[in-house]
Amino acid sequence: MTPSPHKPLLATVLGERQTRPPMWIMRQAGRYLPEYREVRAKANGFLDLCYNPDLATEVTLQPLRRFDLDAAILFSDILVIPDALGQSVRFEQGEGPILEPVTAQTIAALKPERALDHLAPVLETVSRLRATLPAEKTLIGFCGAPWTVATYMIGGRGSTDQAQARLFALREPEAFAALVDILVETSIQYLVAQFKAGADVVQLFESWALNLDEEAFTRQVIEPNRRIVAGVRAQVPNAPIIGFPRGAAGNLSRYAAETGVNALGLDYSTPLEFATQHLPSHLPVQGNLDPLRLVAGGAQMERRAQEIIAAFADRPHIFNLGHGIVPETPIAHVERLVQLAKAS
């Protein structure tokens, strides 16, 4: 048998420290690239771009043509799941996603049985990427974690405090639990399908893990994420999974220990000393440069990037931003950041 090619980023997720940290950039296929904007103009809306395998494959590959990155991440969105469940989802220019909010009465009308058929074009994109990517590049699939997706489904849009979803979970616990059950099971099947289509690793985006007390964090973040990890691995044994609980703060170590994820994404507010002192030394971590440091560039960006790389030099580490790259990021700054990481 021909041995599988070494994929540095996948190996890191699985616990193998590399001679230099592999890297990718959250939202690396996005609006900061002029070629992305050209392709985006061809689509009839953002969701059309996500569901068009030709266009989604192209934009997924664009950053790898410019930069020496170690992974491609599927171009899609966390809100394809509520869309696949039958909820009205649209993206308005300058406003972001707008959803028709679910209620305790309308949750039963969601259609999990139709979700994978609806998501077939996304899975086709994964298959095409697997066939196209160089052998040493890791292919990352993903989905939004249930709490984060639920905040949009209940609130109808993003918010700074997720107050509507938090109140819904407190006032309508049975309805909220039913919604989480639907999201957990749909996410399991979606991620399993991504693995079967060719993904090497998947990431759970818990983008709104902040603003929850420890009891709510356990119930609404840790437990659903744990169920997804276990459910995926029941069908894909030893499936490599990265968890990214943005804003988890003092709950980070519990999240890592209790969900069973292979690697932990750190947001840019996580102190390096806290991570090195409170997370197990064998646990792979990912992150965590502030995206605005990349926008500003220069000596401060280089110093902070080097501090991050040095802090995690004794453990498996994937260099990344602590959240998504922003549209105003200069391409030259990304080029310099990649050079720094590769030279470390």
Per-residue pLDDT of the chain (344 residues; tens, 9 = 90+): 445 679 999 999 999 999 999 999 999 999 999 999 999 999 999 999 999 999 999 999 999 999 999 999 999 999 999 999 999 999 987 778 999 999 999 999 999 999 999 999 999 999 999 999 999 999 999 999 999 999 999 999 998 899 999 999 999 999 999 999 999 999 999 999 999 999 999 999 999 999 999 999 999 999 999 999 999 999 999 999 999 999 999 999 999 999 999 999 999 999 999 999 999 999 999 999 999 999 999 999 999 999 999 999 999 999 999 999 999 999 999 999 999 999 98
For the stretch 263-270, contacts whose Cβ atoms lie closer than 8 Å and that sit 24 or more positions apart, written own/partner, are: 263/12, 263/13, 263/316, 263/318, 265/203, 265/320, 266/322, 267/322, 267/323, 268/321, 268/322, 268/323, 269/322, 270/322
What is the pLDDT, as a whole number, of residue 1?
40
Residue at token pair 């609806």: 118
For residue range 137-171, list pLDDT tens digits in order: 999 999 999 999 999 999 999 988 999 999 999 99
Domain region containing 273 = 8-343
User: pTM (2 decimals)?
Assistant: 0.97
The predicted structure's pLDDT at residue 2:
43
Separation of alpha carbons 140 and 299, rounded Å: 31
CA dihedral sign of residues 74, 27, 15, 18: positive
In which residue are the tokens 């599988």 written? 4
CATH number assigned to the domain comprising residue 286: 3.20.20.210
Q: Report the domain count for the chain.
A: 1
CB 301 within 8 A of CB 294: yes
Among 264, 136, 139, 134, residue whose Cα is nearest residue 202: 139
| Tokens describing residue 5 | 């090619």
How many C-alpha atoms does 267 have within 13 Å on its Cβ side? 18
Q: Mind telling me the catalytic residues?
A: 27, 31, 40, 77, 152
Q: What is the pLDDT of residues 41-88, one digit of tens each?
A: 999 999 999 999 999 999 999 999 999 999 999 999 999 999 999 999
Looking at the domain assignment, is residue 313 inside a domain? yes
Q: Is residue 234 part of a domain?
A: yes
1 in a structural domain: no
Q: Which two tokens stand for residue 294?
A: 């990349």
DSSP class of residue 6 equals: P
Question: Could you give the count of Cα atoms lying within 13 Å of 283 in the half-sphere of its Cβ?
Answer: 25
